[in-house]
Structure 1
Amino acid sequence: MKLKSNNYYIRKSHRYLGIILGVQFLFWTLGGLYFSWNDIDEVHGDHLRKEKRNFSASMNMVSPQVVLDNLKAKAQVDSVLSIQLIEVAGVPVYQLRYFSGAMDHAAHAAGSHMPAQASNVKVQLANAASGKLIPALTKEEALVVAKSQVADPVKVEKVEYLSEVGAHHEYREKPLPAWAVTFSQPDNCTVYVSAELGTFQAIRHNQWRLFDFFWMLHTMDYESRDNFGNILLRAFSIFGLFTVLSGFVLYFVSSPGIRKVKKKVHQVR
């Protein structure tokens, strides 16, 4: 029985590795092309948004202390995380984020990056002119906020209230609950507004959705999109290295020039 040469096994390994990895290499290439040919600001939807307006310096506001006192009268406030002046439906509003109840060390270390829905972080809105506490955004208020963000809102297709989203949702890892306002134009965009924070959170449109799809294929994280340390990506990276190395070895052992050199060395010996 004739034994098969090393060349045969190298070719076989290179061929199967190429088949296994070829499709993923194609996805990586297509994704890279799409990323490089698109303006990231347009992907984020900046071109669809109105220019941000500033507050007038002549407006009347009560002290944030008034809001804090009003809040203490109705709820337990252990410490204040932040107080921010925002606009809700054209009205200046204080957004007060505070800790109520036991505050763990992780929450304290996270600081202002803590999501609004964390169990021990509360949010309270208050009219900045009167200090009166106001509830979370209604559907009508969220619609006004969403329209104020889009440069040319043509027609509202639907408005949804989101209390939870899946790992694949385009509004993943954002504050909940939230209102999702979808416009038919421009670019079939959806504006997400946090009900408790009272603020715009994200705008998603067709260009972003395609970018997100290619990003998923690029990272090979089919659950949350952004985990570069997932096992699948690591495995394919190693297999890719083996494929490249086997290609170099295959060239070395099958090159006519290399074979001639080896033959001459053999003859000299």
Structure 2
Amino acid sequence: MKSPQYYIRKTHRYLGLFIGIQFMLWVLGGLYFSWTNIDKIHGDHLVNFPNPNISLTDSLLSPNVAILKARLHPEKVKSLNLTRVLDQMVYQVETESSIILINAQTGSIRPPLSQSEAADFAKKIFKPKSEISSIEYITKDNLQDHYQYRGGTLPAWAISFKHPSNSVVYISSEKGSFEKIRNKQWRLYDFLWMVHIMDYQTRDNLNNWLLRGFSILGLTTVLSGFTLFYQSSRTIRNIKNKDL
């Protein structure tokens, strides 16, 4: 009859073989996360963040007057924010169904950003002097082609630049605002994060069952290793023999 140690050794060996690759990916991901600058991952060093300051010389309508001039129903307004869109002060009004831009000086509704306006905005946002390689309009229908923009406001413009960082600037067309920038460092970080938490769909679910299962298997592997060490250690056996 085979001893319990035999089965523990077998379990430890095959578990180690099965989850060894995932262990290695966890370690590689941890090394990358701890040794990289998160601001560079986010691409902050590549961005000229818009100046939100309001000039005191601007003659602006009050929010209530602007909403009435735009012929909106005040009761349908969920939130209102004063911001700057392409050197123009606007009220960014969120309703139950959409986001509307109202010219803060005239009260007229500003249309969503066009392709050319989004391109001009992106050039101001992106610090390096680089040419635009492509522009794409993102909606729910083609969002899967831009996984790196998940969770962002739609619709939006994706403006790619001819730059060593392979950066893409995302501009919300309705809000008229800069949303995100993604570069090759972020894509590597995002890939390692995906395999680290083992969520291969949304990449943000830390409670998925695959991760839980591998965590239990990993703990079992470690505990079986400790058990084997305890059972096979000559020092421990000598201590036991002395006690006898």
Tell me whether 53-62 or 140-149 shows the greater mean CA deviation: 53-62
**How big is the shift at 1:254?**
0.8
**How big is the shift at 1:204?**
0.3
Pick from 178, 187, 190: which aligns with 2:168?
190
Amino acid in structure 1 at the alignment position of 2:117: E
Q: Which runs of 5+ in 2 are unaligned?
A: none
Q: Indicate the residue corresponding to 1:133 in structure 2.
A: 109
Q: Is structure 2 residue 88 aligned with structure 1 residue 91?
A: yes
Verify the 8 A CA contact 2:137 2:155 in the aligned structure 1: yes
Amino acid in structure 1 at the alignment position of 2:127: A
**How big is the shift at 1:258?**
2.2
**How big is the shift at 1:88?**
1.7
Verify the 8 A CA contact 1:167 1:223 in the aligned structure 2: no
The alignment's TM-score, normalised by the length of structure 2, stands at 0.92
Q: Is structure 2 residue 79 aligned with structure 1 residue 82?
A: yes
Tell me whether 53-62 or 6-15 shows the greater mean CA deviation: 53-62
**How big is the shift at 1:263?**
4.0
The alignment's TM-score, normalised by the length of structure 1, stands at 0.84
Q: Indicate the residue corresponding to 1:160 in structure 2.
A: 136
Cα RMSD (Å): 1.8
Verify the 8 A CA contact 2:46 2:126 in the aligned structure 1: yes
Within 5 Å, give how 1:211-222 maps onto structure 2: 211-222=189-200
Q: Is structure 2 residue 244 aligned with structure 1 residue 261?
A: no
Within 5 Å, give how 1:29-178 maps onto structure 2: 29-53=27-51, 54-71=53-70, 73=71, 78-99=75-96, 121-164=97-140, 165-166=143-144, 169-178=147-156
Within 5 Å, give how 1:231-250 maps onto structure 2: 231-250=209-228
Secondary structure of 1:87's partner? strand
Task: Tell me the distance in 2 between the aligned counterparts of 1:10 and 1:167.
Answer: 47
Secondary structure of 1:232's partner? helix
**How big is the shift at 1:51?**
4.4
Task: Tell me the distance in 1 between the aligned counterparts of 2:146 and 2:205.
Answer: 13
Secondary structure of 2:150's partner? coil
Verify the 8 A CA contact 1:48 1:186 in the aligned structure 2: no
Task: Tell me the distance in 2 between the aligned counterparts of 1:168 and 1:246.
Answer: 43
Secondary structure of 1:146's partner? helix
**How big is the shift at 1:128?**
1.7
Task: Tell me the distance in 1 between the aligned counterparts of 2:147 and 2:159.
Answer: 15
Q: Indicate the residue corresponding to 1:10 in structure 2.
A: 8
- Deviation sequence 1:17-36 (CA, Å, 0-9, x none): 11111111111111111111
Q: Which runs of 5+ in 1 are unaligned?
A: 100-120
Verify the 8 A CA contact 2:67 2:73 in the aligned structure 1: no
Verify the 8 A CA contact 1:88 1:198 in the aligned structure 2: yes
Amino acid in structure 2 at the alignment position of 1:230: N
**How big is the shift at 1:217?**
1.0
Task: State the identity %.
Answer: 46
- Deviation sequence 1:144-178 (CA, Å, 0-9, x none): 22122111241000000001212970000111111
Verify the 8 A CA contact 1:67 1:133 in the aligned structure 2: no
Amino acid in structure 1 at the alignment position of 2:91: Y
Secondary structure of 1:25's partner? helix
Structure 1 residues 167 and 223, CA, compared in 2 at 3 Å: closer, same or farther? farther
Task: Tell me the distance in 2 between the aligned counterparts of 1:31 and 1:221.
Answer: 14
